[in-house]
């Protein structure tokens, strides 16, 4: 259980990272991460800030916060809603992608069914954090996802890994030969998946590393991440 001091420390870390890598003023971070809903979303917010940092420092991209009407990050799964803040990701003068939280995407199996107008619950799944190709609306297609991130601030279990592997299949097919990604350095330059999205799991339990080499065969990167 996090103490008030822990929450303050972690919020300050997030504020520092976002100020350095996305130009977000610390005062704005306080409104993005309200204390009332912080306990359940603090880990995800820290992972989001870390991803912003790595895209800037390792991939050489530029990130800016886009306001939206609500001064709080989206915290419930659903369609893309630009009333909430999100991040634009730029490569030079070109808009490279858009970074959202808690967004549904249309699955590979939904496409294989012919993308019927009336969707069922299995036709879409939620991503905790998603870097999408620019200009998406509603439920983006699985082929529009460049980075798919799941966050688990919990002990790792085999059931989570099984779920992760199944989730991967709804993003892409396995590719016998590695395909180039959209990235030159981070998070990966190649992946065994088609379409060529990068799928990541951030987990607070260091035992997640036990599964790293197996998951990597399917284009899934496991990251031990503590706050």
The answer to whether the beta carbons of residues 186 and 208 sit under 8 Å apart is no
Residue 189 lies in a domain: yes
pLDDT tens digits, 210-226: 999 999 999 999 999 99
Which percentage of the chain shows pLDDT scores above 90? 82
Backbone angles phi, psi at 189, to 5 degrees: -95, -20
Q: How confident is the model at residue 192 (pLDDT cuts 50, 70, 90)?
A: very high
Residue 25 lies in a domain: no
Check pLDDT > 80 for residue 70: no
Q: How confident is the model at residue 115 (pLDDT cuts 50, 70, 90)?
A: very high
Residue 215 lies in a domain: yes
Q: 4-12 long-range CB contacts below 8 Å, 24 or more apart?
A: 7/35, 7/38, 7/39, 7/42, 10/42, 10/46, 10/227, 11/38, 11/42
Residues, the chain: 227
> In which residue are the tokens 């996802």 written?
145
Residue 109 lies in a domain: yes
Residue 132 lies in a domain: yes
Using CA atoms, how far apart are residues 165 and 198, in angstroms rounded to an integer?
13
Residue 139 lies in a domain: yes
Which percentage of the chain shows pLDDT scores above 70? 96
Domain range spanning residue 92? 61-224
Range of lowest pLDDT (4-13, 24-33, 121-130, 160-169): 24-33
* DSSP one-letter string for 77-136: -BS--TTS-EEEEEETTEEEEEEEEEEEEE-HHHHHTT--SS--GGGEEEEEEEEE-TT-
Total tally of structural domains belonging to the chain:
1
Q: How confident is the model at residue 130 (pLDDT cuts 50, 70, 90)?
A: very high
Using alpha carbons only, give the angle 104, 60, 58 rounded to the nearest 5 degrees.
85
Whole-model pTM? 0.94
Using CA atoms, how far apart are residues 124 and 76, in angstroms rounded to an integer?
15
Residue 16 lies in a domain: no
């Amino acid at each position: 259980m996090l103490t008030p001091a822990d929450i303050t420390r972690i919020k300050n870390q997030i504020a520092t990272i976002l100020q350095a890598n996305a130009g977000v003023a610390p005062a704005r971070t306080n409104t993005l991460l309200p204390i009332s809903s912080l306990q359940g979303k603090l880990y995800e917010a820290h992972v989001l800030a870390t991803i912003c940092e790595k895209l800037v420092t390792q991939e050489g991209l530029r990130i800016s916060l886009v306001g939206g009407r609500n001064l709080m990050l989206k915290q419930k799964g659903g369609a893309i809603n630009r009333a909430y803040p999100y991040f634009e990701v730029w490569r030079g003068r070109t808009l490279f992608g858009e970074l959202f939280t808690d967004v549904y995407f249309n699955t590979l199996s939904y496409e294989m069914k012919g993308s019927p107008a009336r969707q069922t619950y299995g036709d879409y799944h939620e991503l905790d954090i998603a870097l999408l190709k620019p200009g998406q609306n509603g439920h983006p297609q699985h082929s529009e996802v460049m980075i798919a991130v799941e966050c688990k601030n919990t002990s790792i279990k085999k059931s989570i890994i099984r779920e992760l592997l199944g989730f991967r299949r709804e993003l892409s097919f396995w590719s016998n030969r590695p395909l180039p990604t959209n990235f030159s350095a981070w998070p990966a330059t190649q992946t065994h998946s088609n379409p060529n999205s990068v799928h990541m799991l951030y987990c607070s339990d260091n035992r997640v590393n036990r599964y790293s080499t197996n998951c990597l065969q399917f284009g899934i990167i496991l990251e031990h991440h503590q706050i």
